[in-house]
Structure 1
Amino acid sequence: MLLDISPECRTLIILDIEYTAWEGSQARGWSEPWEERETVQMAMLALDAKTLAPQNHFSCLIKPTINPILSDYFMKLTGITQENLDRHGLSLAQAFEQSQDFINSFDQPVQVICNGLDSVFLANNGELVGVTCPDCLKGGQNIFAFLQENIPTYRAGHCSGDLARLVGHPIEGHMHNALFDVHSIAVALRYIKEKQAA
């Protein structure tokens, strides 16, 4: 299975987000009436579409609107503190504007990819609080199936941050930090590219 990248694509953007969560959220599918998946961190890593060489990255914290206080569970999982969020967090509208500027700074056309439903959750988050998500973000390609097919050890229960380790090239950083995760995905993509070229 090959990555479905347009032949005209010049820049590949890996997108990853971290969103509000509480103890048991995943098991119950965020089904409590007060639970919403609000983005707290968004990161992107730009790669040359042909070589997958990294070009630049973007990361920002975003203040949730409905549940502005982070749970202890989320802070322990991500390493993101309430103090850091309060001090450095952007509004979702500001984050969308900055992310659009980041994407526009690279050779076009650009294609956004993510390991899961990050693009869907971003668009849903925008609708939830009345902010329009840029088309380039909400149209991200989900590469989860591609990664599973090409990395036999990558299975349910693993996350994006596991990928670099699973392909034998671990990197330093904090699991469930969006910036760490996009770099981990990039390592996995380069590993697959080299394996397919051999």
Structure 2
Amino acid sequence: MDEHKENIYSHDVRLEMSDTRLAIEKSCSRLNADEDSSPDTSSPPANGDYSHPVYKEIALANGHINRMSKDELRKKLADLKLDTRGVKDVMKKRLKSHYKKQKLMQTAAEGGPTDTYYDYICVVDFEATCEEDNPAGFLHEIIEFPMVLINTRTLEIVDSFQEYVKPELNPQLSDFCVKLTGITQKMVDEAEPFPSVLEKAVAWLQERELGTKYKYAILTDGAWDMSKFLNIQCRLSRIRYPQFAKKWINIRKSYGNFYKVPRTQTKLSTMLDKLGLKYEGRPHSGLDDSRNIARIALRMLQDGCQLRVNERMHAGQLLSVPSSAPEEGAPPPHNPRSRD
């Protein structure tokens, strides 16, 4: 989701208030931390144990990196044949993560700690019906269902899925919606309704053995896609909310926590810019947005971020998942049951 899309769908203020409270709580918990001499806890070891001597070495290296100038950081990254793009804080994080990864690789061979979670990450960014000025109580229906699959081992986009969806409550798209998304009336008229498209998406995930042979997680740009759009759509389609989508990675939270920036700097266009990346494709296209979100996720993985699940749905409510929670992937995908 991008800045314009956020403005259209931002009438659920409670989500942002919840995020703000969480950010304040996290900030308070770090008040006594000495960043120059402590391990980088934004990506904790899988067992949460920092007693291994390797973390002392990593902490000392972090202190040295924190004192480097922007030119020194760029030169060191170039010497290591690493990406030199991005603002100073991004380059610092990249260099710290490179050193951390090298040390952990060495200790892993000796039975030491590692920091690997999911085999695959599946990026989802729905497009939905909208008006230029959405009336009170407007129910957004999903009209594009895209997924982009990231292999966390090879750090590549390896596959994608896209289906348009026929809206049933408001089958006629507004001129504003067509212009914004590039989705035409003909595209949705010829598409299948949401339950059928969801079945195709589930089959696509199953064919790739996600949740069975491979551990995976869903990733979104903000909380809206799952907590709002999918939630509304399932109610309209009279099907239960799918289990595999009940937990996800909100990349905005992950980006803000990892690079230590405020939530105001975590819009899609801003994240790309701060990482030295350009948007590729057509803005507001669900598939192109998903690919660009995936590019941000790949850069974060390359910089050492673990991208753990940080949000979930419970009894129809959006909740945060603390970083101390046990690490777990999404369950095997199955078609949800009818609500009738």
TM-score range, shorter chain: 0.7 to 0.9
Q: Which residue of 2 aligns with 1:115?
A: 221
Contact 1:113-1:142 within 8 A present in 2 as well: yes
Q: CA-to-partner distance for each residue in 1:142-194, whole Å, 9 max, x for gaps? A: 22211234568896497546644552232431111110011101111122223
* Residue aligned with 2:160, SS: strand
Q: Which residue, 100, 123, 126 being the options, matches 2:202?
A: 100
Q: Which residue, 170, 173, 176 being the options, matches 1:73?
A: 176
Q: Which has the higher strand share?
A: 1
Q: Which residue, 232, 240, 249 being the options, matches 1:132?
A: 240
Residue 192 (1) aligns with residue 294 (2): no
Aligned residue runs from structure 1 range 23-42, under 5 A: 23-25=132-134, 32-33=136-137, 35-42=138-145
Q: Which amino acid aligns with 1:10?
A: D
Number of corresponding residues: 190
Q: Which residue, 139, 146, 151 being the options, matches 2:254?
A: 146
Aligned residue runs from structure 1 range 141-180, under 5 A: 141-150=249-258, 156=264, 159-160=267-268, 163-180=271-288
Q: Which residue of 1 aligns with 2:125?
A: 16
Q: CA deviation at 1:138?
A: 3.8
Q: TM-score, normalised by structure 1?
A: 0.81
Structure 2 unaligned runs (5+)?
1-41, 47-114, 306-340
For the aligned residues, what is the CA RMSD? 2.9
For residues 4 and 143 of structure 1, the distance between their equivalents in structure 2, rounded to whole angstroms, comes to 19
Q: Which amino acid aligns with 1:193?
A: L
* Residue aligned with 1:191, SS: helix
Aligned residue runs from structure 1 range 38-57, under 5 A: 38-57=141-160
Contact 2:255-2:266 within 8 A present in 1 as well: no
* Residue aligned with 1:58, SS: strand
* Residue aligned with 1:97, SS: helix
Provide closer, same or farther for how the CA distance between residues 91 and 47 of structure 1 changes in structure 2, counting only shifts above 3 A.
same
* Residue aligned with 1:99, SS: helix
For residues 176 and 294 of structure 2, the distance between their equivalents in structure 1, rounded to whole angstroms, comes to 27
- Percent same amino acid among aligned pairs? 23
For residues 280 and 126 of structure 2, the distance between their equivalents in structure 1, rounded to whole angstroms, comes to 19
Relative contact order higher in (CA < 8 Å, ≥ 6 apart): 1
Q: Which residue of 2 aligns with 1:58?
A: 161
Q: CA-to-partner distance for each residue in 1:90-124, whole Å, 9 max, x for gaps? A: 21111110111111122422211111221222133
Contact 1:79-1:177 within 8 A present in 2 as well: yes
Contact 1:151-1:167 within 8 A present in 2 as well: no
